[in-house]
Amino acid sequence: MTGMLSQPPKSAPHAEETSVRATRTTLGAAADAARVALRRGREHLLSLQHADGWWKGELATNVTMDAEDVMLRHFLGIRTREQTEETARWIRSQQRDDGAWPTFHGGAGDVSTTIEAYVALRLAGDEPAAPHMRAAARFVTAAGGVEASRVFTRIWLALFGQWPWERLPAIPPELVLLPPWMPFNVYDFACWARQTIVPLSVVYALRPVRDLGFTIDELRTGTPPPARPRLASRAGLLHRLDRLAAGYERVRLRSVRSHALRRAAEWIIARQEADGSWGGIQPPWVYSLMALHLLGYPLDHPVLRAGLGGLDRFTVRESTPSGPVRRIEACQSPVWDTALAVTALADAGLPADHPALVRAGGWLLGQEIRVCGDWAVRRRDAPAGGWAFEFDNDQYPDTDDTAEVMLALRRAAVPAGPATRRAVDWLSAMQSRDGGWAAFDIDNTRAVVADLPFCDFGEVTDPPSADVTAHVVEALCAEGLAGSRAVQRGVAWLLRAQEPDGSWFGRWGTNHVYGTAAVLPALVAAGMDPQHPALVRGVHWLLAHQNADGGWGEDPRSYRDPAWIGRGASTASQTAWALLALHACGRHQGPAALRAARWLADTQLPDGGWDEPQHTGTGFPGDFSINYGLYRLVFPVSALGRILAGDAGEPGGGTS
């Protein structure tokens, strides 16, 4: 396999010649295995393409999505026995031996997720005395009970009279009236957070209570609330501000509140997507449905009818030995998946005019967004252009998808020039002041909002990240803009963001393996010598964290516990990320790459894919992890295609 492992120079005659022959034999076996794996992976990926040209793998998260779907339907009075039983069957199947439910595969039990799953199962008819329910209750009470749950879980409990509304942090709907230049306006929050906060503020203002038909007293411990933060601290100051906002509820002007609720309803409706969703993600979707219904919109109103109907496309049903199960995708990733699949197949040797790539390229061109969304609030003069994550996501194109689509379109024989030029202009306009790129917004970095008492789960701002910045830099360089000011500022940002150990933090993928594997190819694409100290340190970090079996893996716990950085069971996607980085830096000729390629070949499934139950994608670092169904296939195909490019017997691959 040309380029997989450099051969040692000849010196001692007999022993050295024997060693060289053994190395060549190992090389040949590894090359053969890698070629077979690539061919099978490529064919499997081709078989998954939709007739319209796109790819979409299931986006799996945790049972919170499913439990909240049950609770939403109970709240709206539309829950059916069949839906509830199928969802409950799925939730039960995901319970750990200790009675808890985790937020990612192999993770520890999470008290809030477990409480929500428990309530959903009670709605399904599971009795508290059942062994699995007793185990769940024991876990919850040992972890501090409902008193230790996150704010969002307690909001769900308040909706059903299981937590007092007055003991929740204030979320006044008047926030929507604040202009964008004022502190704590809704545009200080990331797009996913603002879409959730606005409808939640309506729910908070109206404080509904629906009957569950039971209590969850068995999950309570009576633990008093934690002490208030010190007044001298920022958190302490914001806590007092929250209490002032709560007090405002007693003296608010009725006219101002009515105006705020009307404005919130208008804001919510204006952001409903064509498929009925809000942002194409579950949290704002369910809260928007509840908020509008509480404001008097009937369930047969076109907005609510579209919203409820749209949930069907996010519903996954399958048969199991215990009966049919039903689960909800938190969001969907067809644009992202399709761009990665096009790049992977091109890396695997498909020519640009191959029908699969032409169909995919044409579909991607049809997904270009030509209208202004929330990003335009702070970039009014920027031209529209770019791509989003989902089928219908016009309000929220993102720089990460846009960059990957641009790279993919270069690999397909489609007339992408005008769309790509618009994307270049949009990406250039979305560069933050510090030179980096965030996913959805520009300069969305007001960190103080994260200390608001109701912001205790997940990221609520969208600052620049290494992985997104790297993808944008790589895409702009592919368009011949390596010498541009935008790229040079981006490169400078990436160099500043390198961790002391030589890695880069991964915001949207787990974690330092993802960040490092994204940055190294981007810096090379920008013209940086692979021998530059920053790149050498990045490569050395990757090599130092290769597992004994030849693969790479990193557990989501690395977001919270530094001891997990670069550690975890080997996965196909993370191994491929590391291989792609080594290839970009010219290090795909060493034994580390050989072992990684061999690991991919040895762990491939009979259908040409790879098994990967681990969550290697990231929604909120440390809080919400994602298992992308196609990551385990597209990245290994790309990696094997690139390291085999030019090898005898391969059709050639090339790199983006």
Provide the annotated active-site residues: 400
DSSP code of residue 275: T
Which are the contacts of 472, defined by CB distance < 8 A and separation ≥ 6? 399, 400, 402, 403, 427, 437, 490
- Residue 59 φ/ψ, nearest 5 degrees: -105, 105
Nearest CA to 110 out of 489, 470, 535, 556 is that of 556
Helix, coil or strand: residue 197: helix
Which are the contacts of 170, defined by CB distance < 8 A and separation ≥ 6? 204, 242, 243, 245, 246, 248, 249, 453, 454
Which are the contacts of 641, defined by CB distance < 8 A and separation ≥ 6? 38, 42, 344, 346, 347, 348, 349, 653
Beta bridge partners of 278: 272
The rounded Cα 350 to chain-centroid distance in angstroms is 28
Tokens 């560069």 identify what position? 431
Tokens 């990733």 identify what position? 333
DSSP code of residue 130: S
CA-based radius of gyration for the chain: 26
Q: Amino acid letter at 633?
A: L
Q: How far apart are CA 608 and CA 483, in angstroms?
A: 41
Helix, coil or strand: residue 590: coil
The rounded Cα 304 to chain-centroid distance in angstroms is 26
Helix, coil or strand: residue 516: helix
- Residue 405 φ/ψ, nearest 5 degrees: -65, -40
- Residue 398 φ/ψ, nearest 5 degrees: -135, 155
Q: How far apart are CA 100 and CA 133, in angstroms?
A: 10
Beta bridge partners of 624: 620
- Residue 635 φ/ψ, nearest 5 degrees: -70, -45
Beta bridge partners of 620: 624
